[in-house]
Amino acid sequence: MSRDGMSGAKDQEYLPYGRQWVSPEDIEAVKEVLESDWITTGPKVEEFERTVASKAGSLHGVAVSNGTTALHAAYAAAGIGPGDEVIVPAITFAATANMVILAGAKPIFADVDENTLLIDPESVRGLISDRTKAIVGVDYAGQPFDHLKIKKMCHDREILLISDAAHSLGGSHEGSPVGSLADITTFSFHPVKPITTGEGGMIVTDSEKFANKARAMRGHGIDATFRERESENTFEYDVSSLGSNYRITDFQCALGISQISRLDEWIAKRNWIADLYDSGLSNIEGVSPIGRREGVLNAFHLYVVRVDKSLFGKDRGSVFRHLRESNIGVNVHYRPIYQFSYYRRKYGDLSGSCPNSEKAYEEILSLPIFPGMDLEDVNRVVSGIAQFTQ
C-alpha cells in the first residue's frame, strides 16, 4: 500500500490530471460480489441506484453502463427525437451533443459565461424556439450551473431541464444537492470522476415515468428483468419499446457503493487542493482560475485556469508543452463542439456564434486535481508554472 492508502504505487515522475483511488475495502466489496450468485442485473445494482439517488436528493435512480449511455437514455426518456432542438453549451465533452444527434434531434449551441464557463442563461434565452424540447446544462469542472434561472425559462415554456452532472456528484447549490435541481440529471462514474465504478453512469429523477422509460431503454425495452422473472417463476416478458443493452454489472455497483461512502471526504479534499492552487497562483500574473459561483459546493472534478498571453508572456500551448515535458499531466477541457470536423460538415461553419467559448478554448488549461494529491504535488505544479516565465 502506497502513500495515503492509494491502491498501487504512486508514480513520482508523472502527475496525471486525474486518478482514481481504490482502497482494500473497495476491492473486498467487488470480490464478495464476484463470489456471489449475481454478478449482473442483481441486487447490488438496485442498492447502488438507491444510494446514489438518496445522495442526489432524487426519488429514482437508473444505473447504466457509462455517462454517455446515461445521456442517451435520459434523452430517450424525455421523448427527444426527430424534429426537436436541444440547447447545449458549446463548452462540454462531445457526448452531451453527440447523444442529441443519436436521439434524432438537433443540438443548438449556447455560449458560456466568460467567468465561470457555465452555460449562459442569456445566451440560452435567445436560442429558445418552438422546436426546443429540452435545455441541457453542464456542471462544468464540477460547479453547478444556474439551474434556477434556466429552470424558470423551461417551466414557463414547458421545456425540460436536463443536467449533465458528469463532473459534479456531491456538489450542491444553497444546500440542494446536484441531482435535485433539474427534471432529469445524469452522472458518470469514469475513473477520474468524483467516484468510480470503472465505467458507469446513472440517471436520477423524481419522475417515475422518466425512470421507467430509462430502465426500458437500458434493457432492450423488456418490461421485466431476468431477476424479476426468476422471482415470479415465469419465462414470459414483453418488448414494449425500443431499447438497447446499457446495463451495468453488480460488481461495478459494489465498487460504487463502497466508493460513495468516501465522497464527502474526497469533495472536501478537492476543495482543499483548489484553495491551495488559488493561493499559489495568486502571485503569478496572467494565470487565473475560472470563477466560482456564490452559494455552491463545487465538486472540483477539474481545476481550470486561463492563461492570458498578454500578461503571462506565454500562450496556453507553450505552458501545456512545458508542464507535460516536466511530467505534469495537464490537459484541456474542452474545445467548442461545433469546431470539430463532424459538426462542421453537418451544420456548417458556426465560428463566432459563441465568442466566450471560442476565446476560452484558446486560454484554458486543466491542472492536476484528485484526492490522492498532497501539498508537495500542488507546489510542484505551481512552481512549474512560475518557473516557466523566469
Q: pLDDT per residue over 140-161, tens digit each?
A: 999 999 999 999 999 889 999 9
The model's pLDDT over 368-388, given as tens digits with 9 standing for 90+, comes to 999 999 999 999 999 999 999
What pLDDT score was predicted for residue 53?
Answer: 98
Backbone torsions φ then ψ of 231, nearest 5 degrees: -70, -25
3-class DSSP assignment, residue 67 = helix
What mean pLDDT is predicted for residues 183-199? Answer: 98
Confidence grade of residue 367 (pLDDT, cut at 50, 70, 90): very high
Confidence grade of residue 4 (pLDDT, cut at 50, 70, 90): very low
What does pLDDT average to over the chain? Answer: 95
Whether 5 shows a pLDDT value over 60: the answer reads no
Dmax over Cα atoms in the chain, in whole Å?
74
What pLDDT score was predicted for residue 389?
Answer: 81
Confidence grade of residue 6 (pLDDT, cut at 50, 70, 90): very low
CATH 3.90.1150.10 fits 263-387, yes or no: yes
What pLDDT score was predicted for residue 232?
Answer: 82
Q: Are the C-beta atoms of residues 51 and 57 closer than 8 Å to each other? A: no
What pLDDT score was predicted for residue 231?
Answer: 78
Q: CATH 3.90.1150.10 in the chain, residues?
A: 263-387
Q: CATH 3.40.640.10 in the chain, residues?
A: 23-260
What pLDDT score was predicted for residue 1?
Answer: 30
By annotation, the residues acting in catalysis are 193
User: Quick count: other Cβ atoms within 10 Å of Cβ 129?
Assistant: 9
What pLDDT score was predicted for residue 3?
Answer: 37
Bigger pLDDT: 174 or 237? 174
The model's pLDDT over 29-84, given as tens digits with 9 standing for 90+, comes to 999 999 999 999 999 999 999 999 999 999 999 999 999 999 999 999 999 999 99
* CATH class of segment(s) 23-260: alpha beta
Whether 316 shows a pLDDT value over 60: the answer reads yes
pLDDT above 90 covers a percentage of the chain that reads 90
What mean pLDDT is predicted for residues 177-188? Answer: 98
Confidence grade of residue 8 (pLDDT, cut at 50, 70, 90): very low
Q: Which spans in the chain are helix H?
A: 24-34, 43-56, 67-77, 95-102, 121-125, 147-157, 208-218, 226-231, 250-260, 263-281, 309-312, 316-325, 341-347, 355-361, 375-387
Distance CA 75, CA 86 (A): 10
Whether 240 shows a pLDDT value over 90: the answer reads no
Sheet holding 176-177, edge to edge: 176-177, 172-173, 296-297
What pLDDT score was predicted for residue 12?
Answer: 56
